[in-house]
């Protein structure tokens, strides 16, 4: 498909929900174009009546006979009519300008929302498989460029109609002269299309990729700044950025230089036609050109008006082509056939969440990438309601993957996770997730007050927030900050320590009073005392809560009702701490390893 038909198809897709709005806009554009052309045609009688030449366009004569009293001087009548039409045009021009902006902002707004909605509705797997910089570019740079493309398309409609009406006037004034001009025009457009559009498109694609690369490098640089500083690799990142920017410079130069060619060419063509037309008029009339001045002047004026509007239309088209790669990227996101993937990821989502007895893992297997070793291999276990269970195992054993499945970030490849016998894939995801409190290793805080970071959109009282903060052992440090709960934490919480961030994240989840609390290394950044305080809170809460703890430090999980031990994706042992120690297997090996490294506290050893 050609770049132009591609653009038209995408625009049809984007504009189709706004048919009435577009129809109104087009009506006002057509009215404006008609009046504009009528205004120019009035120059014809004005010149002729002025020069006393009896050579009027017949249509205008008929119009005057119908409209004006015969006693009126036709020269004055034409001039007056010109004034009236000019006033009308000023009014309609305002309507068209506002209408165009309104159409543009409406379609742009809908695009912005649709892209966000589409990205938001993708399964977690989609985000995990994409570079963050690419995702940022789609939602920001690509949407911005697509908005520009929409603007160009709206302008193209206006300039296109205007050009069409000018062309009709030219045909009315002189059919053959217009044919000659058109042949020149078509020949020129053909060369421009062949040589320019494909080049603009090619270079714009390069520009797009370069912009994306630059955005990825910059984003990686900012998010990894600490590691970059301490590894002394600033120069390496400078080189990476430099190479991305170099490509961008070349692409920008090409795209902008190519964009200027039509303007120069149009200017050249227009004035050449006027000069040549004047010479031809003189030659063909043998010097007696006065009777033809009216028609020639009007023709040239119409041509003079046609060329800028044609040139603007062409520039709109050229810019549309320039933005097409971004538009295609965004369009691809909007029409991506993800229904199948989403329904398999999200299941039928029909049943309400209800949890009275147990959560079951029934022969659950999972892999992140097809063909690779299974990350979880036929896992079967049960978690009774309001019990406290722990999942342990060496690094890479699959503990977080179990949490990921429970948090619906991924779905099992085979087997099922059931709540009271109902598969998770049949339960309404949002309903289920509203009862699950998941605290992972990465804690997200955003630029707002501590209070809002804990509230996180939840409808609750000040007391609820404070109580949650106390349970998360965060209240004390919050009160020690300058503005307490009103303290604004910097972007990504840079003003907080890792442990403080973790405690805010824990308070946020406790506030939601989930039925199932899933802690995946949630206290890993905390000192032993803080960890112990939070675990005591969790113990208090767990009277009405099912708690699943994933932790490296085995001292954290010794009081769990049941401990599941994973090894290489398989469930190898299960039981209480004492039962597992007696087994003298994987759990004991991990435990003794930690005791040697000093990770298991003396108090917990003594308990044994
Ligand atoms: N998004 C992913 N894509 C591909 N492989 C992954 C992904 N996440 C984890 N894995 C792999 O799956 C295996 C299990 O990872 P998982 O994070 O569940 O282990 P873990 O027991 O929680 O480890 P740790 O204690 O180190 O956090 C590892 O081999 C890991 O490399």
Domains, the chain? 3-341 (1.20.1560.10), 347-435+515-608 (3.40.50.300), 444-513 (3.40.50.300)
Which tokens hold the place of 384? 């009774």
Which tokens hold the place of 546? 């099912």
pTM: 0.65
Q: Is the CB of 128 under 6 A from ligand 1?
A: yes
Please tell me the predicted confidence (pLDDT) of residue 340. Answer: 46
Q: From the CA of 374, how far away is ligand 1's center (Å)?
A: 11
Please tell me the predicted confidence (pLDDT) of residue 366. Answer: 93
Helix, strand or coil, per DSSP, at residue 466:
helix
Ligand 1 atom with the smallest distance to the CA of 550 is 22
Q: From the CA of 400, how far away is ligand 1's center (Å)?
A: 7
Q: From the CA of 551, how far away is ligand 1's center (Å)?
A: 14
Please tell me the predicted confidence (pLDDT) of residue 579. Answer: 92
Q: Is the CB of 372 under 6 A from ligand 1?
A: no
Q: From the CA of 401, how far away is ligand 1's center (Å)?
A: 6
* 385 phi and psi angles, rounded to 5 deg: -60, 140
Residue owning the nearest CA to atom 9 of ligand 1: 401
Please tell me the predicted confidence (pLDDT) of residue 606. Answer: 37
Q: From the CA of 440, how far away is ligand 1's center (Å)?
A: 13
Which tokens hold the place of 298? 């009007």
Helix, strand or coil, per DSSP, at residue 358:
strand
Q: Is the CB of 124 under 6 A from ligand 1?
A: no
Q: Is the CB of 396 under 6 A from ligand 1?
A: yes
Residue owning the nearest CA to atom 28 of ligand 1: 396
Residue 246 sits at the vertex; the CA angle it makes with 240 and 247, to the nearest 5 degrees, is 100
Q: pLDDT, tens digit, for every residue of 248-263?
A: 888 888 888 877 777 7
Q: From the CA of 573, how far away is ligand 1's center (Å)?
A: 20
Q: From the CA of 396, how far away is ligand 1's center (Å)?
A: 5
Which tokens hold the place of 548? 């699943």
Q: Is 386 left (phi over 0), alpha (psi -120 to 50) or beta?
A: left
Q: Is the CB of 368 under 6 A from ligand 1?
A: yes
Regions of the chain with pLDDT less than 50: 1, 339-341, 343-345, 601-608
Rounded Cα distance between 353 and 350, Å, is 10
Residue 492 sits at the vertex; the CA angle it makes with 487 and 495, to the nearest 5 degrees, is 45
Residue 591 sits at the vertex; the CA angle it makes with 507 and 593, to the nearest 5 degrees, is 115
Please tell me the predicted confidence (pLDDT) of residue 229. Answer: 79
Angle between helices 234-284 and 293-335 (to 10 degrees): 150
Q: From the CA of 376, how far away is ligand 1's center (Å)?
A: 10
Q: Is the CB of 404 under 6 A from ligand 1?
A: no
Please tell me the predicted confidence (pLDDT) of residue 574. Answer: 93
Radius of gyration of the chain (CA): 36
**Residue 381: DSSP 8-state:** E
Q: From the CA of 369, how far away is ligand 1's center (Å)?
A: 12
Q: Is the CB of 56 under 6 A from ligand 1?
A: no
Q: Which of 401, 404, 411, 525 to mutate to test the pocket of ligand 1 (most atoms within 8 A of CB)?
A: 401
Q: What's the mean pLDDT when you consider all of the chain?
A: 82
Q: Is the CB of 590 under 6 A from ligand 1?
A: no
Q: From the CA of 377, how far away is ligand 1's center (Å)?
A: 13
Residue 407: name the closest of 389, 434, 367, 381 by CA. 434
Ligand 1 atom with the smallest distance to the CA of 569 is 14
Q: Which pairing describes strands 388-393 and 546-550: parallel, antiparallel, or unpaired? A: parallel
Ligand 1 atom with the smallest distance to the CA of 521 is 27
Q: Is the CB of 401 under 6 A from ligand 1?
A: yes
């Amino acid at each position: 498909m050609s770049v132009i038909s591609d653009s038209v198809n995408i625009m049809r897709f984007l504009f189709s929900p706004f048919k009435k709005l577009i129809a109104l806009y087009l009506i006002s554009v057509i009215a404006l174009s008609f009046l504009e052309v009528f205004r120019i045609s009035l120059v014809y009688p004005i010149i002729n009546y002025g020069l006393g030449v009896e050579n009027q366009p017949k249509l205008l004569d008929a119009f005057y006979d119908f409209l004006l009293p015969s006693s009126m001087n036709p020269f004055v009548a034409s001039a007056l009519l010109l004034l009236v039409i000019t006033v009308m045009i000023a009014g309609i021009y305002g309507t068209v300008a506002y209408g165009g902006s309104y159409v543009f902002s409406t379609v742009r707004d809908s695009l912005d929302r649709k892209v966000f909605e589409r990205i938001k509705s993708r399964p977690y797997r989609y985000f995990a498989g994409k570079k963050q910089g690419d995702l940022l570019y789609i939602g920001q740079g690509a949407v911005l460029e697509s908005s520009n493309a929409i603007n160009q398309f709206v302008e193209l409609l206006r300039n296109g109609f205007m050009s069409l009406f000018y062309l009709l006037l030219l045909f009315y004034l002189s059919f053959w002269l217009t044919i000659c001009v058109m042949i020149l025009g078509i020949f020129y457009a053909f060369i421009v299309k062949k040589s320019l559009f494909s080049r603009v498109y090619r270079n714009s694609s390069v520009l797009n990729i370069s912009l994306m690369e630059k955005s990825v490098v910059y984003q990686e640089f900012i998010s990894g700044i600490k590691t970059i500083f301490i590894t002394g690799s600033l120069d390496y990142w400078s080189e990476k950025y430099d190479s991305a920017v170099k490509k961008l410079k070349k692409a920008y130069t090409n795209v902008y230089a190519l964009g200027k060619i039509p303007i120069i060419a149009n200017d050249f063509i227009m004035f050449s036609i006027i000069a040549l037309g004047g010479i031809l008029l003189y030659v063909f009339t043998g010097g007696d050109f006065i009777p033809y001045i009216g028609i020639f002047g009007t023709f040239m004026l119409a041509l003079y008006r046609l060329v800028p509007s044609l040139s603007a239309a062409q520039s709109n088209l050229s810019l549309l082509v320039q933005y097409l790669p971004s538009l295609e990227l965004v369009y691809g996101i909007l029409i991506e056939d993800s229904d199948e993937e989403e329904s398999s990821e999200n299941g039928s989502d029909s049943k309400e969440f209800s949890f009275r007895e147990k959560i079951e893992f029934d022969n659950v297997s999972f892999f992140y990438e097809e063909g690779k070793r299974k990350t979880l291999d036929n896992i079967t276990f049960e978690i009774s309601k309001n019990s406290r269970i722990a999942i342990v195992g060496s690094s890479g054993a699959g503990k977080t993957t179990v949490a990921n499945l429970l948090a619906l970030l991924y779905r099992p490849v085979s087997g099922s996770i059931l709540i009271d016998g109902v598969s998770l894939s049949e339960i309404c995801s949002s309903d289920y997730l509203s009862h699950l409190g998941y605290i992972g290793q990465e804690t997200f805080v955003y630029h707002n007050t501590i209070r809002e970071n804990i509230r996180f959109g939840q409808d609750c009282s000040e007391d609820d927030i404070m109580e949650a903060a106390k349970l998360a052992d965060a209240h004390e440090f919050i009160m020690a900050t300058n503005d307490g709960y009103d303290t604004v934490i910097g972007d990504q919480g840079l003003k907080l320590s890792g442990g403080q961030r973790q405690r805010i994240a824990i308070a946020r989840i406790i506030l939601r009073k989930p039925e199932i609390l899933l802690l995946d290394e949630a206290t890993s950044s905390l000192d032993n005392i803080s960890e112990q305080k939070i675990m005591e809170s969790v113990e208090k809460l767990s009277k009405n809560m099912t708690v699943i703890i994933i932790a490296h430090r085995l001292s954290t999980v010794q009081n769990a009702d049941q401990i599941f031990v994973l090894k290489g994706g398989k469930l190898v042992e299960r039981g209480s701490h004492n039962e597992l120690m007696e087994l003298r297997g994987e759990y004991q090996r991990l435990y003794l390893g930690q005791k040697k490294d000093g990770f298991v506290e003396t108090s917990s050893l003594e308990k044994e």
